[in-house]
Structure 1
């Protein structure tokens, strides 16, 4: 089974692209990593990240057992390299092939997308500032792709192209 990990700052469009890909390819499951650490109030430390990794791997294991599932797309903000490595190692132990793609954009593009997202309670000015400050860090990650001025379809096609799996 193939697994696509979509990474990037808050508001970049990970969920939008992940659900678009899942809708485009039959038998694709979508996992939002935030669901896997949905604590109230939110706590984003090493302990809760470890828990989320374990939850994501558990879900992928179950999807792998399902005869209807061919691929999994995981959308999650992974700002620590150790999180990506541990997640990929866990996925590989399931005998699945994982590809990590980090989505980045210009500050202006991120602001535009942020302002257009009216459904997410995290879309505050404070969190926007944090997300913008994280753009440089995400831009330096392996497999980062700039999605500035691209449509959802163009981004999804670019992700799929970069995720050419060997099997």
Structure 2
């Protein structure tokens, strides 16, 4: 049976890096970053673009699920509300999938350090820290498996998820 693996977390927590490594650890795997489905300039958030990105994500996930060559589908995105996860799962064909939903969480200091590295590199602006810290609180309320990355490398985080996926 296929595995559909959803990895959520606030901005800068390490979703993309973890998912990329996890893809390498799993056989017949594919990785979709939700941000790739919404990579536009300028970045506009409104009802129309939110619907567009959700349609893009659902379409791509269903394509991966229907492909016989793919057994492990990894999807990451800022899924900070249960309704986002629920909408995705209600619109993809999970009849022949084991579904795993994870949230990457960490301490405020760890998140600030991750984000400051990106700010220093010019990848993000300073205002991301406050917005990301606010969203972090929301992940504790979700119906997901929580993985605290505060004292873990990206490889250790990917390995933790790998072990959960392969537990007998």
1: CA distance between counterparts of 2:48 and 2:81?
13
Q: Give the conservation status (yes or no) of the 8 Å contact 1:91–1:97.
A: no
Alignment partner, residue 136 of structure 2: 135
- Normalising by structure 2, report the TM-score: 0.85
Q: Give the conservation status (yes or no) of the 8 Å contact 1:27–1:69.
A: yes
Q: Secondary structure at the match of 2:4?
A: strand
Alignment partner, residue 151 of structure 2: 149
Moved more, 64-73 or 6-15: 64-73
Segments of 5+ residues of structure 2 without an aligned counterpart are none
2: CA distance between counterparts of 1:154 and 1:81?
26
Moved more, 112-121 or 132-141: 112-121
2: CA distance between counterparts of 1:90 and 1:165?
27
User: CA 1:164–1:138 in 2, change beyond 3 Å: closer, same or farther?
Assistant: same
Q: Give the conservation status (yes or no) of the 8 Å contact 2:8–2:79.
A: yes
1:126 CA displacement: 0.4
1:98 CA displacement: 2.2
Q: Secondary structure at the match of 1:136?
A: helix
2: CA distance between counterparts of 1:105 and 1:71?
26
1: CA distance between counterparts of 2:45 and 2:143?
22
Indicate whether 1:32 and 2:33 are aligned.
yes
Q: Secondary structure at the match of 1:98?
A: strand
2: CA distance between counterparts of 1:95 and 1:54?
21
Q: Considering only aligned residues, what root-mean-square deviation do their CA atoms show, in Å?
A: 2.3
Alignment partner, residue 161 of structure 1: 163
1:4-43 alpha-carbon deviations (Å, 9 max, x no partner): 1110100000000000001122311110101112232212
1:28-85 alpha-carbon deviations (Å, 9 max, x no partner): 1110101112232212345433322221221122223333321111110012221110
Alignment partner, residue 62 of structure 2: 61
Structure 1 segments, 4+ long, off by >6 Å, are none
- Normalising by structure 1, report the TM-score: 0.85
1: CA distance between counterparts of 2:122 and 2:95?
33
